[in-house]
Amino acid sequence: MLYVFTMKLLKKGPGRGRKRKKRMFLRFLVSIFLFCVVSFSLYLLYLDGLVLKKFEGQRWKLPSKIYAAPLNLSAGLDVKKAALVSRLKRLSYHRVSEPVQHPGEFYQSDQKIEIYLRAFNYPEGESAARALRISISDKNRIEQIIDLKTQREQTHLQVEPEVIGGFYEAEWEERRLVRLSEVPQILIDAVVVTEDRRFFEHPGINLKSILRAAWVNLQAGKIVQGGSTLTQQLVKNFYLDSERSLKRKIPEALMALLLERRYDKDEILETYFNEIYLGQNGIMGIYGVGQGAWFYFEKEVADLTLGEAALLAGMIRSPNIFSPIKDVQKAIRRRNLILEVLFSEGKITVSDYLSAREEKVIAKKVKQRLNTAPYFTDEIRRRMADLYPPRVLNSGGLQIFTTLDAERQRIAEKALRQGLQTLEAGDPRLRRADSSEALQGALVSLDPKTGAILAMVGGRDYRKSQFNRVTDAKRQPGSLFKPIVYLTAFEQAANGGEPYTPMSEIDDAPVTVPIGGKEWSPENYDHSYLGSITLRAALEGSRNTATVRLSQALGMDAVVETAQDIGITSPMKSVPSLALGSVEVSPLEMGIAYSTLAGGGVFHPATFLSGIIDPSGLSLAREDGVDLYPARVVSEEAAYLVTHLMEGVIDSGTGQGVRHLGFMRPAAGKTGTTSQLRDAWFVGYTPDLVTVVWVGFDKSQGGHLTGASSALPIWTDYMKKASFTEARDFEVPSGVVFKKVNANGVICEKNGVEEVFISGTEPTKTCERGILKWLKRLFF
């Protein structure tokens, strides 16, 4: 078109008219040229802006990681139950012959375990790498921990936590950022001679390589070779897509020139080493040589051998082909090729070459980084979303530390799954054809000393239902609520009110209570009545009518207040049926309430987060704005009396199935069953662990479920395997006394049964007579 227009101008008229038209044409050409120059300049400015924005800002979107709690090592820990060796393997520690010499190694024998712990940055500060010798008893318990460097005994140490989830956008790009100074020279040489021999000479593009690639592409009739420099590869990965086209190649080359004009070779190379893709670990992409060294060889990049460096460099071209995980033989051939190039370029000696070729390449098993605690991590995501915007969570590289015990979580998931399967296998009435209506369950386990959530299973199968029944399901607790009534009675006694004791008597007989103009007549589960019984017998036997009578004597407002004090937050009405658990609560609420009892009357809010740090190591705010702190809400004497009564529930009451199933530690607990056998509960605790189990149907169908037959076996299975520390008794407060009393509540040292009382409420009458009684009064 331009040619035709030009010829027309030149043909029209001779002389001055033709000269004037030539000048017009020249002006037109100049205008076109200036327009192109300005447009190209503006395009360069645009590309330069892109280069600056990425390089001067946040270069990588670092996913935020969610960690489980670290494993606390101390005397008395059962290393077999705590699965110490399995944890070390999941953390990529590798077994070696004695002694351990480098971080990430461990050695195991029958009587000891040596571990070289890695350095790790915790919210409270960095923990240095250190080698330990752990002496193990015949019962698999830690007897002593010795620091191998100082030879001093250690009382408490931590094994770093496992990653259980994360926040990320489209893809989880896992990186361990490294400085160029940390990258061994041999790895730098291997990458440069393989990917871009003239890297330190060219200005960002290599014209010779481009012309060679153009000739190859012309012969092939399509783009089959790129001729890209390392700088161009970085530009492609950093700013552009992987499309092979002239449209993408032009800006790639221009941006490479701009990048090299603004930044030196070392900074470009360092960024390249942190950007390259080196394979996949489940949902995690392995990016950068730091993460590549860690994933493939379980070591820092600075510690790579020559053979390992060559293998890593050889993977850059195509990690899905040359990865030792995909094909060991291809990886070895590729490594050897890189070694030959290094030798031919004079970067290594013949001795280095030969020894590197002899290095073994292990086809390591990929550790799929799956979400091992999906209900728990969902709750963490919900809480973190209240603290930080999505941009910070998805790309800010936060380290989110939680309270979850990874091993207890595995035990809990298995116990619930197998427990529900056993129930269905034993009772056809519990089976459902539609899996969406299947029998469900929930389990939550807490540390009563801190309120920390140690395990949480919100349902039978997260893949089929993401509804968290621990936090969000509200169901009637039934008899699980009864201990709150008895706690109210003992708290009154501790505060100088009515002197209720475990030996106080209450009538277990039919009772009718007016409710809103109507009459309510609760019955006992077995439809029998025992007459006058002690408070201990009433709670151990879970007697409904006796509990209702006690609650009426105490006043329902007082019962509601006690329930609120110890952690029940669901709305409650002061109605008589509340004594039998007519309120709807979540399993987590019941766990908090029973933790208050196990903790001696000290309320701890449920804690999910233990700390948050940013990539620089700065500790950030960890809680979600709820201003709750540990607080004494009931006396330790009243709490202990209820605990002692619930020890009786397990030893001889409705919860004695715990003992029949082999859990013999000191423990307190309570069964719970709702009307029409809809919901089955069991809550129990030791001094160190509180666990709640609920079993039922989501649609509240009558399910032939009882706490003792449905929830208790799951609880027992979990607690037998999840109790890692040595068994110990509940701590006895100074304000209680033990007396041997007979069935009439009279002190009888010879034939009495030991009972506990709040000081000042114990009986004074004695069954002893004659000279013995006179002598005791005289001398005691």
Neighbours of 627 (CB within 10 A): 6
Q: 721 φ, ψ to 5°? A: -95, -20
Q: Enumerate helices (H) and strands (E) in the chain, giving the number of each.
A: 25, 30
Token match 């790498």: residue?
129
Contact yes or no for 295/311 (Cβ under 8 A): no
Strands in 574-664 per DSSP E:
602-603, 609-613, 619-620, 631-632
H or E stretch at 435: none
Distant-in-sequence contacts of 376-380, Cβ < 8 A, 24+ apart: 376/164, 376/402, 376/404, 376/409, 376/453, 376/456, 376/458, 376/608, 377/66, 377/164, 377/165, 378/458, 378/466, 378/468, 379/456, 379/468, 379/471, 379/608, 380/66, 380/165, 380/608, 380/609
What's 709's DSSP letter? I
Q: 676 by DSSP, 3-state: which?
A: helix
Q: Which among 638, 90, 87, 622 has a CA at the least distance from the CA of 365?
A: 90
Neighbours of 326 (CB within 10 A): 16
CA 589 – CA 566 distance, rounded (Å): 9
Q: Which among 392, 375, 492, 396 has a CA at the least distance from the CA of 445?
A: 375
For 38-77, b where at least 16 C-beta lie within 10 A, e where not — what string?
Answer: eeeeeeeeebbebbeebeeeeebbbbbbbbbbbbebebeb
The reply to whether 105 belongs to the active site is: no
Q: 642 φ, ψ to 5°? A: -65, -40
C-alpha distance from residue 375 to each of 444, 476, 588 (Å): 11, 22, 13
Contacts of 675 (CB under 8 A, 6+ apart): 476, 478
CA 150 – CA 605 distance, rounded (Å): 40
CA 607 and chain centroid, separation? 13
CA 364 – CA 76 distance, rounded (Å): 34
Token match 């207040």: residue?
561
Catalytic residue among 182, 195, 300, 768: 195
Q: What is the DSSP string of 67-96?
A: E-PPEEE-TT-BTTTTTHHHHHHHTT-EE-
CA 177 – CA 660 distance, rounded (Å): 55
Contact yes or no for 231/260 (Cβ under 8 A): yes
Contact yes or no for 722/455 (Cβ under 8 A): yes
CA 219 – CA 688 distance, rounded (Å): 75
Enumerate the β-bridge partners of residue 684: 669, 691
Query: Residue length, the chain?
Result: 780
Catalytic residue among 395, 445, 479, 723: 479
Amino acid identity at 639: A
Contact yes or no for 217/312 (Cβ under 8 A): no
Contacts of 5 (CB under 8 A, 6+ apart): none
The reply to whether 195 belongs to the active site is: yes
C-alpha distance from residue 123 to each of 159, 171, 353, 619 (Å): 14, 26, 45, 6
Q: What sign for the dihedral angle of Cα 231, 236, 240, 243?
A: positive
The two tokens of residue 751 are 């034939």
Neighbours of 14 (CB within 10 A): 7
Contact yes or no for 470/375 (Cβ under 8 A): yes
Task: Tell me which residues are annotated as active site.
Answer: 195, 479
